Amino acid sequence: MSIPKYIYVDDENDTSIESLINGFNDTKLIEVNQLTITKGMDFSELENLIKSKIVDEKYDGLLIDLRLDGEGPNQLRYSAISISSELRAVCARKEIPSFPIVLCSTLDKMKETYKSDKTSHDLFDYTFRKSENPDYERFSRKLKALAEGYKGLPNDIDTLDKIFQRKDLNNLDQRIFERFYNQDIIVPYDFAHFTVKTLFHATNPLIKETILAARLGVSINKSGKHWIELLSKFEDCKFYGLFSNGWDRWWADLLNIKLKGISGKNFSFLKAEERVAILKETYKVDGIIAAEPLSHNNSSEFWTICEATKCPLDPLEGFKVRLSHELKAWQEPKYMSLYAILERIGIDKGIEPNYTEIERIEECKRNL
């Protein structure tokens, strides 16, 4: 497949937009071109322009600013939410091919509009936050994976094993995939949304690299290149399904089986030093360093991370994070450390403890 092409829609048209587009294009992973719009453009006119780009000019995805009805020179009377909703409906009716829609905006605008309207969360495959120094390489890799992944998405559930690249999905908690068996009509976006929002952004059945390191008891930063060497020993636990080129994830159940196999023990009950000793003996990677507890913590029986610091954390010493959605029965909570709470780390990113933890936090403060 050639380099995926994204249309970019924004009511602004200044040097910051040019810089953003160049940032994506310089990666050579995707191509982004701004769609020319005019102030007050009719809803149907913009819809038809986007559909034409997707169908006639073979664009692969849409990157759209949240507040098209903002204060830009090309201000419209409607937002990204309304136009994206209509485009999703058009794709569901199979009038045009399904494609990824990525939201692009500042954190302030997200807080003001997007986070307060939870119904809009389901419209977008991914959210790119404008900032002074975006990691264009990382974001472009995700947008490329989305565009390529959408091309092979089916309209039925008979290929779940192919989508997620596992022939034994029945070994997992059956509640994970029940949504697909309870729907009369499945559209490609159903698979895309489920994978990114439900699997990638939560813990269990898939885990991200920082949580993998926590469960192995290893400090990524202190281990350096030796961490990469150790990581290669867990290729058989890696997720190779939909969008895996953009998100590195590992199967939690396969990891547990592997760790039990090399140790004969439940890794979650071992201290980090004990885990690292087993890994060194098994894989001969002598340069890995055991992770240490954060300030105000004592346990190194890590199984998760502090969302604010991304450091290993024993869930029993953590505090549940306030989420914008309810956890599924098979998903694990996210946590933050007392250290992060006291130092107010993560506040600017919206990482805060759940209100149910307030009393316990105050008690911990008194005991310091």
Question: Same domain for 284 and 167?
Answer: yes
Pick from 292, 310, 343: which residue ends a domain?
292
- pLDDT of 156: 66
Range(s) of the domain holding residue 43:
5-151
Pick from 134, 151, 168: which residue ends a domain?
151
- Cβ distance 209 to 132 under 8 Å? no
pLDDT tens digits along 267-312: 999 999 999 999 999 999 999 999 999 999 999 999 999 999 999 9
Question: Same domain for 258 and 305?
Answer: no
Report the amino acid identity of residue 253: D
pTM tops 0.85, yes or no: yes
pLDDT tens digits along 218-244: 999 999 999 999 999 999 999 999 999
pLDDT tens digits along 259-269: 999 999 999 99
pLDDT tens digits along 100-146: 999 987 655 555 554 555 556 678 999 888 877 889 999 999 999 99
Pick from 93, 99, 90: nearest CA to 125: 99
Question: Same domain for 59 and 189?
Answer: no
Q: For residue 210, count other CB atoms closer than 10 A to its CB.
A: 17
Number of domains the chain is built from: 3
Pick from 221, 199, 194: nearest CA to 210: 221
- Cβ distance 318 to 304 under 8 Å? yes
Question: Same domain for 270 and 359?
Answer: no
Exposed/middle/buried for 90, CB within 10 Å: 0-12, 13-18, 19+? middle
Q: For residue 251, count other CB atoms closer than 10 A to its CB.
A: 24
pLDDT bin (cut points 50, 70, 90) of residue 1 is: low
Question: Same domain for 12 and 109?
Answer: yes
Lowest mean pLDDT among 4-18, 118-132, 182-196: 118-132
Residues 6+ apart with CB under 8 A from 94: none
Pick from 131, 151, 171: which residue ends a domain?
151
Lowest mean pLDDT among 20-29, 130-139, 313-322: 130-139
Pick from 194, 207, 205, 200: nearest CA to 305: 207
- pLDDT of 43: 96
Instruction: Pick the more confident residue, 268 or 156.
Output: 268
Question: Same domain for 127 and 183?
Answer: no
**Most confident option among 33-37, 112-116, 178-182:** 33-37
Domain CATH code at residue 60: 3.40.50.2300
Residues 6+ apart with CB under 8 A from 284: none
- Cβ distance 75 to 38 under 8 Å? no
Question: Same domain for 276 and 206?
Answer: yes
Question: Same domain for 208 and 250?
Answer: yes
Question: Same domain for 207 and 94?
Answer: no
- pLDDT of 6: 98
Question: Same domain for 168 and 271?
Answer: yes
Question: Same domain for 143 and 261?
Answer: no
Question: Same domain for 14 and 87?
Answer: yes
